[in-house]
Chains A and B, each alone.
Chain A
Amino acid sequence: DMKVTQMPRYLIKRMGENVLLECGQDMSHETMYWYRQDPGLGLQLIYISYDVDSNSEGDIPKGYRVSRKKREHFSLILDSAKTNQTSVYFCASSLSAFSNERLFFGHGTKLSVL
């Protein structure tokens, strides 16, 4: 079953709290991504991971960090969350970053920072 799973689906946090968003894939894909989706801005790339412990900043990495210790898991961490980090976060994976293959997306995590 080709699947990207994100947990949790909905999350409410207070400003200043730490946030952990988790993502898993069962396709043994090398590359994984975190995007955030905001109305009028589309999907913006936060981080890309080429494989275990091989991560690279995307276009909007400030305020975020990632961890990938196993190929099938990719975590997004917000240390001391801010209200402007309220968004829908999507994890995605692809076979390889340089194969130009399509992305498989998870269903997203809707994060509200109050």
Chain B
Amino acid sequence: GDSVTQTEGLVTVTEGLPVKLNCTYQTTYLTIAFFWYVQYLNEAPQVLLKSSTDNKRTEHQGFHATLHKSSSSFHLQKSSAQLSDSALYYCALSDPSNDNAPRFGAGTKLSVKP
């Protein structure tokens, strides 16, 4: 089956510095959709980015991610972290060969310090 791996449980970064959250995946299907969701404290998860095109950069709210099928990765990056970016971030994929329900990684908590 499909799997999504987020290796860091916690990432701490100083405000204004760049941040990268890692996401790798395993799937045997070729046409899949990838997502990054963000969950602020006591809030519902909400979509941040979506991509299904190889090697195309997707951007939203200052964050960007590029799907690289050659390395099975969809890392999330931001050039300058803000205090308000502190949240729990999930990488997810939808596989139409399965039930197409998104499968999520374990999540990475981003903590931005002043």
Q: Which residues of A contact B (CB under 8 A)?
A: 4, 33, 35, 40-45, 48, 56, 58-59, 90, 97-98, 100, 102-103, 105-108
Contacts and interface: CB of A to CB of B under 8 A. Distances in A.
15 contacts: A4-B44, A40-B9, A42-B104, A42-B105, A42-B107, A43-B92, A43-B107, A45-B101, A48-B101, A58-B99, A98-B96, A100-B96, A102-B35, A102-B50, A106-B44
A97 B99 contact: yes
B33 interface: yes
B102 to A, nearest CB: 6
Interface size, B (range): 20 to 34
Contacts of A105: 44-46
A85 B42 CA distance: 20
Nearest to B42: A107
B22 interface: no
B106 A103 contact: no
B86 interface: no
B27 interface: no
Nearest to B47: A102
B52 interface: yes
A6 to B, nearest CB: 9
Nearest to B48: A102
